[in-house]
Amino acid sequence: MPFYPAPDRDVQPVPVPGVVRCRCCPGGISRSARARRYPSDMTRAEWAVCEPLLPAPAWLAGRGGRPASWCMRDIVDAIRYLTHNGPVWRALPADFPPTGTVYWRAGKWQAGGCTERMHDDLRERIRLAAGRKAAPTAAIIDSQSVKGSEMIARPRRGYDAGKKINGTKRHLSVDTPGLLLTVLVTAASVQDRDAARPLLRNLRRAFPTVKLAWADGGYAGKLVTWARTRLRLRLEIVKRPDDLHTFKVLPRGWVVERTLARITGHRRTVRDYERLPAHHENDRQHRSTSAGRAPVRDHHSHTGLGSRSPGR
């Protein structure tokens, strides 16, 4: 299934059949010669939407330099292949650009905010196509502990006694359709209420229109008062009935649970394989789009306690 399906009411012009426009290539026509053989490869319609969101090359703006050796479409396809199939960086197939080139481009685009801008644009397109406003007004938050690979350093690793998991914990906020708004990666030992403060702070900073958030009983207590007084955000707790002994879908909570299930339904995101928390957060963005959903908007902090993604 495509990662970034173009909505039926997309305003982007339909590309000419057989012609792939690309600013990074001389003449404006993509030089990519590799066959599109993987499920993660972009279609022409997807590339027509994503290509304008990538940074323009310096030589095209008259700032010097020369055209890159590889078409950006191949770079994006390689990144998507990695997040979709979950291999290590050095195991990228030979028909993609060199691993070092792909890794360098991915880091540069992430640091420059390119990934964030692309996710914002795609999220807004999907929300508008669904008849919603581009900016969310409500969110749901939750967390998920995942095992960490041997690449995870000790400062990032922790033990979640409740889930009996040694690794990291990802904290998410999603909008009412389940599209990611903010992502926060911490050690698994960090309590949900402690991580919720930077998560909600980043949520309000990234999406000032969000005035309401839902959370489960694990977030009850002083956090509700703190969110109301410090962030002017109404945090409603959806509690599980005390006399409930069977499975029951809780209001609002099932939305973020569905998003977590979709994220963990792919090899790259079943565990935390990345040495840097920002890279793990970025993986969440790519995986949130795998089921035809809009991606994540996120900010990363050097402590691993700051990041954001997409909203109501």
Q: Are 4 and 50 in contact (CB under 8 A)?
A: yes
In this structure, the dihedral spanned by the alpha carbons of residues 218, 219, 222 and 226, taken in order and rounded to 10 degrees, is 170
Other beta carbons within 10 Å of 28: 12
**Which residue is it, tokens 């508008």?**
128
Task: Name the residue type at position 135.
Answer: A
Q: Which residues pair with 180 in a beta bridge?
A: 174
Res 74 pLDDT > 90:
yes
Q: What is the DSSP letter of 12?
A: S
Res 262 pLDDT > 80:
yes
Mean pLDDT of 5-22: 53
Q: Are 268 and 151 in contact (CB under 8 A)?
A: no
Residue 218 buriedness (CB in 10 A; 0-12 / 13-18 / 19+): middle
Provide the whole-model pTM: 0.74
Determine the pLDDT at residue 117.
85
SS3 257: helix
pLDDT digits (tens, 9 = 90+) for 26-35: 888 888 888 8
pLDDT digits (tens, 9 = 90+) for 108-150: 888 888 888 888 888 899 999 999 999 999 999 999 998 887 7
- Residue 237 sits at φ, ψ, to 5 deg, of -95, 125
Q: Are 256 and 140 in contact (CB under 8 A)?
A: yes
Strands (DSSP E) found in the chain: 138-147, 158-160, 165-174, 180-187, 212-216, 234-238
The first and second tokens of residue 10, run together, are 């997309």
Determine the pLDDT at residue 305.
33
Q: How far is C-alpha 13 from the geometric centre of its chain's CA atoms? A: 26
